[in-house]
Amino acid sequence: MTTHPDEAEPTLANWRLAPYSSRSFHNVEALVPVVRAAAGTPRPFETAPTPVDGIAFEGPDGQERRVGEAMAATATRGLVVLKRGRLVAERYGHGYDGDTPHIIFSITKSVTALLAGIVVEQGKLDPEQPVTRYVPEVAGSAYGDCTVRHVLDMTVSSSFVEDYNDPDSDYVRYRRATLWNPLPPGEKPESLHEFLADMRPAPEPHGEIFRYLSPNADLLGWIVERAAGERIVDLLSDHLLRPMRAEAPGVITVDRDGSPRTGGGLSLRLRDLARLGELMRNHGEVEGRQVLPRDWVTDIREAGDSRPWRKGSMAYLFPEGRYRSQWYQTGNASGSFCGIGIHGQWLWIDPAREVVIAKAAAQPEPVDDPTDALMLRAFEAIAAAV
């Protein structure tokens, strides 16, 4: 691992806790098994440096704040801002220099859904088909009677609870299955797929309520691999990182059987995360080449049903928003959409202002509502100013 004077030694038991996370979030492969997705020939950014730290905005509390202050308050390790594809701002700190992949947590879900769109375009995957058409192993689980679209849009009816801090919850069992948590002495780990096949249903029908459940995105990865007949790591390399001319390999964690954690295990350089955002801003096109299916990108940006979102527990974040294929639609006037990861990872795309913002952080809490509210104001201010 790279070191920094302020960093403490991370272990498998503490790597997601502060202060250890400041070091571990860009050294995940030292703690958890990983596979690597190859990059391509880098596409350098044109630059147009623009100071962003001094940009002022009104915070959620009505007080004037500045972008630099907001970044410091949210344990930001890296920030990359693009305007019409030009690099206008880039900053790193607190032991992170941007030259190693940083875990993006649940923005991984958004990437997985892009791979699903590629396989849909190939004619190998139909979102309206039952999950069991592709993964019959989950027939006896909560997924036994839902469709791939339910999985994509997080409207699966399941009793699983996404509680990051409860030491006695099923979430701990889930993390052990992904090798993200140490096992009790003498206990053999179950695989991620075994865990997914044991997910229990909830009473309401599928499609009614937005329920944010990370295992859904791991199941999506399993579905995509089965439908495509290829490994996620190869799809990621051949159909995304190489074509978009990423500058560094992606790193994704795997379980005991080599199954990837497509719900949260991907690490990328922050500049490559910004490239991904620029790809989405340009409707899946890079240098005149259609890398992602244009219709799939448009669907992510514009389609979806707002009713399940409004019934879910996250509607406060984007009251006019929706959730479509593992991406958040904000419902704001600029048509902004984003991917979000715990501990402060963001990929923000503002199509109207032609701005992309990628942010890496090591916030102490996995989910911090006041911090999220602050960052939404900061992103709007950056997009308006640059």
Residue with tokens 């989950």: 138
List of residues 6+ apart from 205 with CB closer than 8 A: 157
Residue 120 sits at the vertex; the CA angle it makes with 313 and 282, to the nearest 5 degrees, is: 75
How many Cβ atoms from other residues are within 10 Å of residue 11's Cβ? 12
Q: Give catalytic residue positions.
A: 106
